[in-house]
Structure 1
């Protein structure tokens, strides 16, 4: 038995498997192309050290129209902000260092929009913008 005969026989008997693997590789190669439109979540952080060695930091995470930010000051007090965006509007929530929460919701349709802001005690106000023909 020579090596070339052995290889030829081995390849011929596995052709259906090789075709199947080839089709699977083509399908796998197409997957990243379909998901490129949705940006992968990104995350970064920044730390600042003051002259007395105190630190302040900020972390930001972005992905799919959403942004989440947490900032911690030199005294250890922090606040956070969460923003979610879509084609029809956005919503944002801010939690202050004192733990109080503020929110804003905006909706859009046909060029008009409405924004409602709500304070920590439940009081709210709404502004509406109407598109003129």
Structure 2
């Protein structure tokens, strides 16, 4: 299943792209489940991001590896792939794309996920949309609303 969310912001695409650091990661974390950051190397190919999802009942590990990164005159992106995922996820790929948009930028969160069951993927879609939709006001607060 794929989810693609876009947020237009005022700042230059390279300035936005270079701001994808630990501080922004923490700001983008959803209120639930609570995330405990165990490791944050950055967004270069080979870097690792490791978190513990704390549901209040049980904790789950989520480890992602940055598998690709590219910068051009019009856009920049990095891709993280889940290495250790919480149930029911089996596949996770998140492309963080920042594209030039006049003097501003458009931030794309392009997420591909799978539980291995199409019906469960469909049921998770609104939850994923809600969780990642919460990033939009954070992006706009940090980089300026268009």
TM-score normalised over the length of structure 2? 0.30
Which is higher, the Rg of structure 1 or of structure 2? 1
Structure scoring higher RCO (CA < 8 A, sep ≥ 6) equals 2
